[in-house]
Amino acid sequence: MSPDFLYFIETVLNGLMSGVMYSLVALGFVLIFKASGIFNFAQGVMALFAALTLVGLLTGQVPFAHLIHAIFGVEAQHWGAGMPALLAVIGTMVVMIALAFLIERIVLKHLVNQEPIILFMATIGLAYFLEGLGDLMWGSDVKALDIGVPSGGSFWWEDVTREWAAEGSDYFGMYIDKLDVTAAIVAAVLVVALSVFSQYTRMGRALRAVADDHQAALSVGISLRTIWVIVWSIAGFVALVAGIMWGSKSGVQFSLSLIALKALPVLILGGFTSIPGAIVGGLIIGVGEKLAELYIGPLVGGAIENWFAYVVALVFLLYRPQGLFGDKIIERI
Amino acid sequence: MLYREAGDFKTSYRADQQTFPIRSERILFWAFIVAAFAVVPFFINDYWEKSVLIPFLVWSMAALGLNILVGYCGQVSLGTGGFMAVGAYAAYKLMTAFPEMNILLVIVLSGGVTAVVGMAFGLPSLRIKGFYLAVATLAAQFFLVWVFNKFPWFYNYSASGQITAPERLLFGVPVTGPNSPPWATYLVALTVVFVFAWIGKNLTRGRIGRQWMAIRDMDIAAEIIGVEPLRAKISAFAVSSFYIGIAGAMYFTIWFGAVEPTEAFGINQSFRALFMVIIGGLGSILGSFLGAGFLVLLPVLLKNLMVGQLGWATDIASHFEIMIVGALIIFFLIVEPHGLAQLWRLTKEKLRLWPFPH
């Protein structure tokens, strides 16, 4: 095979991998949107918050250390000992569930029956609040996250692909990050687990009922508020997974919350209401972005990754306003 | 006692339909305007100009524009930062290409350029609605900022990639650049905002404003009773972008004097304008001013309190500020979805009956 073709494959593969990372974030959006009709802008910040909490627990940071120092003058940055990874993950999950509970109690309860756009804006407010809270609790410096997820290039794959290249060409093999492969596997497991959960458990059936029709679900005795807490907890879990993956990849820092902005075009491409849509949309955007950067980028001066996905999604929406797999939009007077 | 409508009789339809039908309200308004034009310029200093009054006026203008789109026409836009950038760069190109041009004309023409760009990005709104549209407008935000970073023509091939406003005179007084006196820039901003707020108020009261509101309340029903969605939506995008473009032009020329697109016109600015509109009150001209004032003053106050009084580090203060803004958004949406403007309306109702509420 010619090196050019191999480059192409490498680009596509890497695009697929980064697409999976986008899908991980988009999944959280879809879950909440399906169950409550809320477009949760805070999903990206939730991922950041989860990752920050995880790092804080792992390294044994004292929450609000800077604030305590500012008010009481007590200098206490660390407990002195961290937690094992598994315990820290469980601890973070508990925090995310508590967060889901609080969000339902303090915010959503009061906004039932409001227009979707009001709820959307409330989640923007939530995003700001969580962003400030996360920084205040754990500090705003860039942190490394390492809980033993494999990372770095795969040498085995490099060797295999070097064999494929034509004799005498200077092709050095494909670069595939092990972390990306792990993320892809995790995402696959997550999607399967979520579909099994929603298809075969009692709670999952209740979730689907609520997604279908709020009032009908209420009338057969499903508690909306419980369901919302559960859905936000699951979204918190997905955020945690996304936070771990993105955090291991590029460090835990503020820019992590911006992945939400990356996930938005994925969402509108795949449709707000479809889990497979989130995955397929993520893959399309991932591959499209990488290919565009490779082939169109040089023509216009590069760095088009920022907006390319949006333009693709925008053009696409003009033909199909509900996205690839979204429910058909029916409008009535 | 201050606010009475007793004895305030109307003899014509015209008098009945004026913006401020109650005499005491009219007096209050004009007293406020006279104070703003004739008293404040004598007391203004550099600190008040650069960190309170000019930011307030510029952001009011942006909030006004966004409110026309979101509050009156119901089309959510997250592209405000991008449109402000268009206004700023249009102003820069006009100022450098035509050094003789009057600065007020430059500002208004920049608004015109932004209106054209806004109409182009408003076209998808005919097909795309709700959240999908909000996300689609993000395309404008990212694309426009990228364009201004990428093509050196926009910043006249300057080495830093920044644009810097050259000095321009108005009636012999410099109003842009580092030598401009605070009162001059303040008066220019105030005049522009006053004129366009007045136009905006009357636009929204008139035929076109009613069309926007019909589209906002239910677009299909509006279409059936004869409102043309194309014209209504695109005109809302055009007018809104025009205002936002003027805000961007003022942001660049008389407020900062030098800007760089990524920071100055990032997505945070889009959110900021949206917050102002929500906190101030959707679909209210007064609300745009109240929201802008609130979000401009809040950080100044918090900073004075936490850094100045309590002596905390600035990063803690800024984290707190973000938290408080976020919490306030939620608070307002829950307690008063119609924002500060509605609070003012309620206050007026109370004042009308005072001191005998029953």
Q: Which tens digit of pLDDT belongs to each residue from B257-284?
A: 788 877 788 888 898 898 888 888 888 8
- Rounded to the nearest 5 percent, the helix, strand and coil shares of chain A are 75, 0, 25
Q: What separation, in Å, do the N-terminal and C-terminal C-alpha atoms of chain B show?
A: 16
Best B70, B131, B220 member to test A by mutation, with max A CBs in 10 Å, is: B131
Residue of A nearest to B323 (CA): A129
Scan residues 223-262 of A and list those with Cβ closer than 8 Å to B: 261
Q: How far is A315 from chain B (nearest CA, A)?
A: 9
Identify all chain A residues contacting B325, using CB atoms and an 8 Å cutoff: 125, 128
Q: What is the pLDDT of residue B67?
A: 92
CATH of B48-353, one of 1.10.3470, 1.10.150, 1.20.1740, 1.10.1660: 1.10.3470
What's the pLDDT score for residue B62?
Answer: 92
Residues of A (146-185) whose Cβ lies below 8 Å from B:
none
Q: Give average pLDDT by consecutive 10-residue segment, chain A, 333 residues.
A: 74 82 83 78 87 83 70 67 78 89 86 77 87 82 72 69 64 71 83 83 84 81 85 88 82 75 81 80 84 75 73 78 70 70
E runs forming strands in chain B: 163-164, 169-170, 173-174, 258-259
Query: What are the tokens at A192?
Result: 């399967």
Q: Contact B333/A121, CB-based, under 8 Å?
A: yes
> Would you call A324 an interface residue with chain B, using a CB distance cutoff of 8 Å?
no
ipTM above 0.95, yes or no: no
8-state DSSP, B163? E
pLDDT score recorded for residue B60:
93
pLDDT for A124 equals: 86
Q: Does A314 touch chain B (CB under 8 A)?
A: yes
Minimum-distance CB partner of B124 among A130, A301, A318: A318
**Which one of B298, B323, B338 would you mutate to disrupt binding with A, by most A Cβ within 10 Å of its Cβ?**
B323
Q: Do B138 and A132 touch (CB under 8 A)?
A: no
pLDDT for B83 equals 92
Give the model's pLDDT for residue B100. 80
φ, ψ for residue A290 (rounded to 5)? -65, -45
Question: Residue B177, exposed/middle/buried by CB under 10 A (0-12, 13-18, 19+)?
Answer: middle
d(CA B342, CA B337): 9
CB contact under 8 A, A128 and B142: no
Chain B residues whose beta carbon lies within 8 Å of the beta carbon of residue A329:
129
Q: The tokens of B316 are what?
A: 């803690």
For residue B337, give every residue at least 6 positions away whose Cβ sits within 8 Å of its Cβ, in sequence order, or none. Answer: A114, A118, B282
- Chain A residues lying within 8 Å of B333, measured CB to CB: 111, 114, 118, 121-122, 125
B156: left (phi over 0), alpha (psi -120 to 50) or beta: left
Q: How far is B50 from chain A (nearest CA, A)?
A: 26
- Taking each helix axis from N to C end, the angle separating A178-200 and A275-295, rounded to the nearest 10 degrees, works out to 160
Instruction: In whole angstroms, give the CA distance from residue B183 to residue B45.
Output: 8
Q: What is the pLDDT of residues B136-150, one digit of tens each?
A: 788 888 888 888 888
Interface of B with A in 243-302 (CB under 8 A): 267, 271, 274-275, 278
Assess B31–A contact: CB distance below 8 Å, yes or no: no
**Partner-chain residue, chosen from B132, B142, B329, that has the shortest CB–CB distance to A125:** B329
Q: Do A317 and B127 touch (CB under 8 A)?
A: yes
Residue A172: predicted pLDDT: 64
pTM score, whole prediction: 0.86
Q: B269 to chain A, minimum CA–CA distance in Å?
A: 13
Task: Choose from B277, B333, B338, B342 for mutation: most chain A CBs within 10 A.
Answer: B333
Q: How many beta-carbon pairs under 8 angstroms link A with B?
A: 140
How would you classify residue A148: left for phi > 0, otherwise alpha for psi between -120 and 50, otherwise beta? left
Residue of A310, A319, A320 to mutate for B, most B C-beta atoms under 10 A: A310
The Cα of A301 is separated from the nearest Cα of chain B by a number of Å equal to 7
CB contact under 8 A, A132 and B315: no
Q: Nearest CA to CA, how far is B329 from chain A (Å)?
A: 5
Cβ of B143 within 8 Å of Cβ of A116? The answer is no
Within 183-222 of A, beta carbons closer than 8 Å to B belong to none
Please identify among residues 22-61 of chain A the ones whose CB lies closer than 8 Å to any CB of chain B. Answer: 39
* Binary contact (A66, B316; C-beta < 8 A): yes
Chain A residues with beta carbon closer than 8 angstroms to that of B139: 307, 310-311, 313-314
Instruction: Chain B: give the shortest CA distance to residue A306, in Å.
Output: 6
B206 in contact with chain A, both atoms CB, cutoff 8 A: no
Q: Kindly state the tokens that stand for B67.
A: 């409110």
Q: From B151, which residue of chain A is nearest by alpha-carbon distance?
A: A301
Percent of chain A predicted with pLDDT > 90: 0
Residue A207 and residue A231 in contact, taking contact as beta carbons nearer than 8 Å: yes
**pLDDT < 50 positions in chain B:** none
CA dist., res. A237 & res. A243, Å (int): 10
Strands B258-259 and B173-174 come out as unpaired
B chain contacts of residue A128, beta-carbon cutoff 8 Å: 271, 322-323, 325-326, 329
Measured CA to CA, the distance from residue A101 to residue A222 in angstroms comes to 17
Determine contact: A315 vs chain B, CB below 8 A.
no
Looking at chain A, which residue has its C-alpha nearest residue B127? A318
B218, B268, B275, B330: best mutation site toward chain A, by most A Cβ within 10 Å?
B330
DSSP assigned state of B169: E
Q: For residue B326, list chain A residues with Cβ-Cβ distance below 8 A.
A: 125-132
- Domain range annotation of chain B: 48-353
User: Is the sign of the CA dihedral A202, A207, A208, A214 positive or negative?
Assistant: positive
* Closest-CA distance of chain A to residue B212, Å: 17
